[in-house]
Structure 1
């Protein structure tokens, strides 16, 4: 029986595509994994929503193709199904723009003066503060944090963020408890201020971890109040040789674990004040609505800015954040954009956990 037009067209298309197959006639190496292993991997990816090929372009060809359009159809088939991604003018799939919190409005957003003189003067005032020492077996720390996925190229994960309420109690023997509650992703123009008094009981995800003596790891177990010694301790955590941004990041990390007495706050301010590269951004209102003074440092050839907000009366670090000034390659971030921030809400001593 003679072939009808549909069958003839389909056979011709198949032969032309096969003739342009770059792997035609080449020997394919044996797979490194067994069939059972490959099936297991596929099941895992399907369960995680990462099914291979989910982002690839699919083409459905009609069986009947007008003769005048046959050459265009064949060209499209070869480009889509044969050429690798990025070849022949095929652009990668666009990545959805990430919705990030609005940038803080600082007093001096452009050219700014060095922050050293202000930080050193503040350190002198804080060292003279007469604050009563805290009492209680446990140090209690409360922070809230927000961080964005900055390297995702899959549109399904491009807008993922992690927002958390974190509470930590720990004793001198490094025992204690940590409670972490998941917070909802925030709209671009709001902060986590609605959670400052504690997440609601119906919060969807919450994790509690109890630490036995010696199990809790902290940043700088016993911070020194001598600026030189403290600088050495902080550099062991975040090497200062990496640049001035390492100093601010080490301070931000240490603040998550310690009661910041006036003497320790003064030492921190001295370390920051002796760091070249920090600039004075002036007055700012942080994401918890607190008025402070911002200092910042740019790194990665101007691609990233670290910004710290300090209370000008007490010298306490109120908040800390990182801003992408240049969009990372193949990222959902569209600079300038906030990529992470931390609100430091409480630090002190207590006799009980909870």
Structure 2
């Protein structure tokens, strides 16, 4: 498919440094190139394209999807749709041990501000593989707000802060397609919930009790591994926005595991500076990003360490990423 991609790049009316966005009107030059792309090569390109592309769309729809993906990402090289690159640790930064971060968090929590709040605001990226090559990265934003009567609303929209205002790929109808930035994927209101089981009950501010709380969150009868603990933390942060005291307790708990290795400073996908802590396993790496002064969790990234050719996944591809906000 290299020849088709080269033609796409040549016909791209919005290069990286161009004045127009991908969803803006095409000029006459771009219209001529796009018309040539869609019509002059139909006879020779359709049979080969149908055998190679996993989405199984008609030839012109495939071309349109690839053009859209190129324009939406602002890329003129590399694959049209692919996993985002993993976060990179700043080369000259100094790692901060978790025990030192726990001390900072304890001092920051002295006035117990900010306070714990039920509800969450998170940006998330996930890799949709399901037999597609290459897999598709689906970015969303989710906001959950709880009401005084214990009912809550959840809004999920398709958006990618790396490319504000540009169309976004979604998989809501069982196949990848572009939607406008901010397109509402779901909006639901749930009746009052009277559950007091974790993660619905408030997280404790004692390390031993928080460990038991996260174990119950994970529905486990045995002590959690560090990887399982990080997954349970993600479930907690998808329900609660931690206050200063809760964050300090969580940092202390993570410091006690002694398996998370400090790497140094990173800039997350929302442009925030944080300290990175990694857990390496044979097949994957989990990177926890934490605010360097308060210990608040900013994000959690999981990457592949081994290629999965049957899914079109390369070593280093991002499997999932969450960025939590207040």
Q: TM-score with structure 1 length normalisation?
A: 0.58
Unaligned 5+ segments in structure 1 are: 1-53, 57-95, 185-190, 347-354
Q: Which residue of 2 aligns with 1:160?
A: 136
Retained in 1: the 8 A contact 2:164–2:181? Answer: no
Q: Does 1:146 align with 2:122?
A: no
- Following superposition, which runs of at least 4 residues in structure 1 exceed 6 angstroms of deviation? 215-218
Q: Does 1:263 align with 2:241?
A: no
Distance 1:124 1:242, change over 3 A: closer
Correspondent of 1:223 among 191, 197, 203:
203
C-alpha displacement of 1:114: 9.2
Q: Which residue of 2 aligns with 1:169?
A: 145
Secondary structure of the 2:253 match is: helix
Q: Does 1:179 align with 2:158?
A: no
Q: Distance in 1 between matches of 2:324 and 2:114?
A: 20
Q: Which residue of 1 aligns with 2:256?
A: 274
Retained in 2: the 8 A contact 1:220–1:234? Answer: no
Q: Distance in 2 between matches of 1:118 and 1:193?
A: 35
Q: TM-score with structure 2 length normalisation?
A: 0.62
The count of residues paired between Structure 1 and Structure 2 equals: 234
C-alpha displacement of 1:117: 2.7
After superposition, what is the alpha-carbon deviation per residue over 1:95-120, rounded to whole angstroms, capped at 9, x for unaligned? Answer: x99611122111469xx989443343
C-alpha displacement of 1:313: 1.3
**Which range is displaced more, 261-270 or 210-219?**
210-219
Retained in 1: the 8 A contact 2:307–2:315? Answer: yes
Q: Does 1:105 align with 2:88?
A: yes
Q: Distance in 2 between matches of 1:232 and 1:140?
A: 21
Secondary structure of the 2:259 match is: coil
Distance 1:163 1:273, change over 3 A: same
Unaligned 5+ segments in structure 2 are: 1-49, 53-78, 166-178
After superposition, what is the alpha-carbon deviation per residue over 1:266-312, rounded to whole angstroms, capped at 9, x for unaligned? Answer: 1111111111311001111111111110111112xx21111111111
Q: Which residue of 2 aligns with 1:15?
A: none
Question: Looking at CA atoms only, which structure, 1 or 2, has the larger radius of gyration?
Answer: 1
Secondary structure of the 1:294 match is: strand
C-alpha displacement of 1:250: 1.4
